[in-house]
């Protein structure tokens, strides 16, 4: 479905033009903000956070890498003689979305089990920060994936990619 169905054509053209320029930068800012939330929670909580609570953020980062390993033109162009590239690309994207949902589920489970339902804990900030971390990282993954135009085979994202 085209963006022109939802917004004016001038706005759609502006967004498509600027998404290539500003999308990767905003995506990196979201990724950094997600990890900043988690580092802040680890530093400010004053307790030793077990490694199990780090896993949702690590899995979300893995999902970011998995989502952005696929070129968008592999998902949009179907060729009957492509030897399964169309299917493999869509299957890999499905698996990366499943990993993403598992990361969010893990952060919700950590929040509920270790912070919300446990009355002996003084603060729930590490659990909330873990949930913020995974959602920001996965938002970063989707923004970075969408900011690439179909047919970006050279890997460049802006006019300054040679630096």
Compute the mean pLDDT over every residue in the chain, rounded to the nearest whole number.
83
Average pLDDT, integer, range 40-66? 92
Measured distance CA(108)–CA(102) in Å, rounded: 10
- φ/ψ (deg, to 5) at 82: -90, 5
Residues with Cβ within 8 Å of 71's Cβ and at least 6 positions away in sequence, in order, are 89, 148, 150, 152, 153
SS3 call for 45:
helix
The string over 84-108, giving b where at least 16 C-beta atoms fall within 10 Å of a residue's C-beta and e elsewhere, is eebeebeebbeebbebbebbbebbb
Report pLDDT digits (tens) over 112-148: 998 888 777 788 889 999 999 999 999 999 989 888 7
Residue 161: per-residue pLDDT: 45
Q: What is the CA radius of gyration of the chain?
A: 19
Report pLDDT digits (tens) over 70-99: 887 777 666 666 676 677 888 899 999 999
Measured distance CA(120)–CA(134) in Å, rounded: 25
Domain ranges for the chain, please list them.
Answer: 19-147
Give the model's confidence band at 109: pLDDT under 50 very low, under 70 low, under 90 confident, else very high. Answer: very high
Give the model's confidence band at 151: pLDDT under 50 very low, under 70 low, under 90 confident, else very high. Answer: low
Residue 90: per-residue pLDDT: 85
Query: Which 3-state string (H, E, C) describes 101-126?
Result: HHHHHHHHHHHHHHHHCCCCCCCCHH
Tokens read off for 51: 């490694």
pTM for the model stands at 0.80
Measured distance CA(112)–CA(107) in Å, rounded: 9
């Amino acid at each position: 479905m085209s963006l022109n169905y939802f917004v004016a054509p001038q706005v759609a053209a502006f967004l498509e033009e600027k998404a290539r320029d500003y999308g990767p930068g905003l995506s990196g800012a979201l990724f950094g903000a997600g990890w900043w939330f988690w580092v802040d929670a680890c530093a400010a909580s004053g307790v030793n956070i077990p490694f199990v609570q780090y896993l949702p953020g690590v899995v979300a980062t893995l999902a970011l890498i998995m989502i952005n390993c696929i070129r968008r033109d592999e998902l949009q162009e179907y060729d009957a003689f492509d030897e399964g590239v169309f299917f493999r690309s869509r299957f890999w994207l499905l698996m990366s979305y499943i990993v993403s949902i598992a990361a969010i589920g893990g952060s919700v489970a950590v929040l509920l089990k270790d912070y919300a339902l446990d009355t002996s804990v003084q603060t729930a900030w590490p659990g909330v920060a873990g949930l913020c971390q995974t959602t920001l990282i996965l938002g970063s993954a989707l923004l970075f994936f969408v900011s690439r135009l179909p047919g970006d085979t050279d890997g460049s994202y802006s006019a300054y990619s040679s630096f």
